[in-house]
Amino acid sequence: MKIPLSPLDFARRARKLHGAREAVVDGDLRLTYSQFGERCDRWSAALAKLGVGRGDRVGTISPNTHQHLEQFYAVPQLGAPPRRFIGGISAAVNCVFLKSSSRHRERG
């Protein structure tokens, strides 16, 4: 049977089945699937402690690093859709992007 996996499903499955295998390489930093998942869980817990919850939009500005990858998984774990701001374009364009994203998912 084929079951489609969301990115979160994929991460959970990889963590369970391949926990000790290398998952992330960022310069000298190397993380296994288990270590990566634990870091994502800590991000989620910290965001929840700040009051982030289901339906909240979380905007990030981050280079392509392990921290950005952790944010990519940590934010949706809370039910909050992530919104990445794009470097190299104007603040006005990023503002339009963020405002348009609110039309798709209002807090309810």
Average pLDDT, the chain: 85
More confident residue, 89 or 101: 89
Q: Which pLDDT value is given to residue 105?
A: 44
pLDDT digits (tens, 9 = 90+) for 56-68: 888 887 788 999 9
**pTM of structure:** 0.76
| Residue 30 one-letter amino acid | R
pLDDT above 80 (res 52): yes
What are the backbone dihedrals phi and psi of residue 48, each rounded to the nearest 5 degrees, phi first? -65, -40
Q: Between 3.40.980.10, 3.40.50.1970, 3.40.50.980, 1.10.3470.10, what CATH number should domain 7-104 receive? A: 3.40.50.980
More confident residue, 105 or 8: 8
Q: Which pLDDT value is given to residue 36?
A: 98
pLDDT above 50 (res 37): yes
